Amino acid sequence: MRLFIAIPIPNSAKKKLAELQNAMEGVRWQSQNQLHLTLKFLGETEVEKAEKLQKRLSKIQHPVFSLVIKGMGFFSQGRKPRVLWAGIVKNKRLAELHNKIEQLCAAMGFKTEVRPFKPHITMARLKGCSKQKVTSFINEYKQFQLPRVRVSEFVLYESKLSSEGATHHRLKTINLQSQ
């Protein structure tokens, strides 16, 4: 099972993000149903370990919070842009939730992420798209911002790969606590 933990994005926000998509050479846009904020990528995981993980994730206590989706950026590999993303404004509650999940997963033997947590929503995969085109797109939407998004849950997803791309299936939804 190929697993990851993420915050689902409300349909209203997904729709607004999808409206930014335009035809650009070398850009493979994510479908609306793939838009999410990854908290932890776990990769291939044995069924038994996944079942234990579901039980442990259910015990995480964390308050409901909100976040702001703002601006665009990209990750690169070497000099080539590879991922176009929508940014998330720095958020203490989000960072705390990420840390709780990271610590729980590390205690279960999952690989610890060495890169700093950079919350984002992957908008597109880039292959052969020039840095100039990506930068132009980012500059065009640098003022882009959505209204606050309420976060009341996070989800353990299974990702199934196919020639059409990945499909994500909810394995376990963990509700956050109302204040």
pLDDT higher than threshold 90 for residue 90: yes
| Side chain identity, residue 67 | L
Reduce the DSSP state of residue 147 to 3 states and report it.
coil
Concatenated DSSP letters for 96-141? HHHHHHHHHHHHTTPPPP-SPP--EEEEEEESS--HHHHHHHHHHT
The pLDDT tens digits for 15-37 are: 999 999 987 888 999 999 899 99
d(CA 144, CA 58): 34
Per domain, the residue ranges of the chain are: 2-175
Count CB-CB contacts under 10 A for residue 118: 10
**pTM of the prediction?**
0.93
Measured between alpha carbons, how far is 21 from 27 in angstroms, rounded to an integer?
A: 10
Give the model's pLDDT for residue 179.
Answer: 64
Dig out the tokens for 150 from the structure.
């309420």
Q: Which fold has domain 2-175?
A: Cyclic Phosphodiesterase; Chain: A, (3.90.1140)
What pLDDT, on a 0 to 100 scale, did the predictor assign at position 15? 95
